[in-house]
Amino acid sequence: MTSTEFEIKLANATNQLNKIAGDVLFLGGKDLEGTMKFRIFNQGRSTTGQIGQYKSKSWIKKRGERGRQTNYVDLEYTSSLRDSIQVVRSGNDVFMAVINDKDFAKAKGQESRRKLTIFVPNAEEQKQTELYISDLIGEQLAKLL
């Protein structure tokens, strides 16, 4: 392959990667969404550690009657908050958002009351997402070159 042919192939690959950038970011966002939801709602962890313990005996009883665990705070009761956290795409821009006002207020209220950051990816989640996106780009680049 001549240098001119390589330059043409590389320019074509760059154009193709630019076309799928939004798709790749969306897939990375969906991966991050799942990882964060598992941390928050299954493990009961904030960005830096445990969210806390349930203290109210009446709330522990109510959660238990509903079949929810009571060993630690996991912010899972009706699944509304979990379901409202979604990855949203606008063109090539990708965002993770709480998509309704009631659940957004609920999320902010939990962080404020507990003085914790909960709904922000931690360093490990960020690194995992970056590696996932890098792998996706590498796969696409290998196909194009």
Q: Which domain holds residue 103?
A: 3-144
Q: What is the pLDDT of residues 93-126, one digit of tens each?
A: 999 999 999 999 999 999 999 999 999 999 999 9
What residues form DSSP beta bridges with 93? 90
How many distinct structural domains can be found in the chain? 1
Backbone φ and ψ of 54, nearest 5°: -75, 135
What residues form DSSP beta bridges with 87? 96
**Dihedral sign for Cα atoms in the order 13, 16, 35, 127:** positive
- Report the candidate in 38, 52, 42, 53 with the shortest Cα–Cα distance to residue 121: 38
Query: Can you give the pLDDT of all 145 residues of the chain as single tens digits?
Result: 788 877 777 788 777 777 788 899 999 999 999 999 999 999 999 999 999 999 999 999 999 999 999 999 999 999 999 999 999 999 889 999 999 999 999 999 999 999 999 999 999 999 999 999 999 988 887 887 6
Q: Are 64 and 10 in contact (CB under 8 A)?
A: no
Q: Are 92 and 23 in contact (CB under 8 A)?
A: no
How many Cβ atoms are within 10 Å of 39's Cβ, its own excluded?
A: 20
Q: What's the pTM?
A: 0.86
In sequence order, what are the residues at sequence separation of 6 or more whose Cβ sits closer than 8 angstroms to the Cβ of residue 71? 53
